[in-house]
Amino acid sequence: MKEIILTPKELPDVGLIAETITPDLFAGKSIGKIASLLIFAGNQRKKLGDFFEVAGKSADDASDTRIVIKGDITKVKMVGKGTKAGEIVIEGSAGMYVGEEMRGGKITVLGNVDSFAGQTMRGGELVIKGNAGDYLGAAYRGDWRGMRGGVILVEGNAGAETGLFMVGGKIKIKGNCGTFAGVHMKKGLIIIEGQTPERAGAEMTGGSIVVMGDTDILPTFAPVNEEKNPEIDGEKLKGTFQTYSGDHAERGAKGMLYKFV
């Protein structure tokens, strides 16, 4: 695998839109070409090289290209948007929309990410070592098909409306999760190892949500039974779980909520 190293210079307060930072666009390009890729700073059309030192070498193929970002890019939005192959490692925290519309490859963020990470993701792997903001793996505003495939792993906590309108894939959160996890979910799996205050699975019609920690279950969920070491979508869980079906505010809802007991 060949590596391109991006070292952030001073980043402007207005924030950057950097959807060009993806292995798919870097592959087969010289350092000079990469440094001249388009980045928006507010309404200004700028070059990637204006804000990042670019070093290393890219492979001809995206799947052999790894982008390493050395430092904090909290002010940078849309890194890795639509990534199909290859790898991105962010050695700090990242801004909004990391891995938005991702279809393949892997993005690892060592710090935290802002809201809308992995929005409408279809494939690949998004690993966040810190915390995630709101709308992790969610749908775009007004879309009724959110995350369709791939895996999101958060080692810290996640915010509200994680997996909104989820129709496939997996989201695992090692820490706690905000309200409305899996709201309107139709398919797929969300595992919350910590607690989630309330309203998990609100208006869900399918899919599964597992909560290991505390949570208040909506009155429109119905207890089903107790299951030992259940296997859901290929994930083997250890322990005894009280299962609930719902959300019965909806007609014919087939969502499942697993609460660790």
Partner 1 sequence: MQESLSKRCTVASDVVCPFCGTLCDDIEVDVKDNKITDVRHACRIGTAKFFSVLEEGRPTKPLIRKNGVMVETTVDTAVKKAAEILKKSIRPLLYGWSSTSCEAHAHGIAIAEEVGGVIDGTTSVCHGPSVLAIQDVGCPSCTLAEVKNRADLVIYWGCNPMHAHPRHLSRYTIYPRGYFRERGHQDRELIVIDVRKTDTAKIANKFIKVDYGRDYELLGAIRAAVNGNEINAEVVGGVTKEEIQKLAEKLKNCQFGVIFFGMGLTMTSAKHRNIDNAICLTKDLNRHTKFSIMPMRGHYNVTGFGEVLTWQTGYPYAVDFSTGYPRYNPGETSANDVLQRGEADAALIVASDPVAHFPRKSVEYLAKMPLIYIGPHHTPTSLLADVFIPSTFVGIETGGTAYRMDTVPLYAKKVVDGPKGVLSDEEILERIYKEIVRGK
Q: Footprint of partner 1 on this chain (CB under 8 A)?
A: 13-15, 17, 40-44, 77, 96, 115-116, 134-135, 140-142, 144, 165, 179-180, 183-184, 199, 202-203, 218-223, 247-251
Shortest reach from residue 71's CB to partner 1, in Å: 19
Peptide bond just before 247 cis, omega within 30 deg: yes
- CA dist 236 and 109 (Å) reads 26
**22-61 burial string, b = 16+ CB within 10 Å, else e?**
bbbbbbebebeebbbbebbbeeeebebbebbebebebbee
- Residue carrying structure tokens 């290991």: 212
- The Cβ of residue 106 has, within 10 Å, a number of other Cβ atoms equal to 21
| Least distance CB 140 / partner 1 (angstroms) | 8
Amino acid letter, 156: G
Residue 259: Cβ-neighbour burial (10 angstroms; 0-12, 13-18, 19+)? buried
Shortest Cβ 114–partner 1 spacing (Å): 9
Pick 28 or 223: Cβ nearer partner 1: 223
Query: Which is closer to partner 1, CB of 17 or CB of 171?
Result: 17
Nearer to partner 1, 102 or 164 (CB): 164
Q: Kindly tell me which of 87 and 247 has the beta carbon lying closer to partner 1.
A: 247
State the minimum distance, in angstroms, from the CB of residue 141 to partner 1. 5
| Of 85 and 221, CB closest to partner 1 | 221
Q: How far is the CB of 158 from partner 1 (least distance, A)?
A: 15
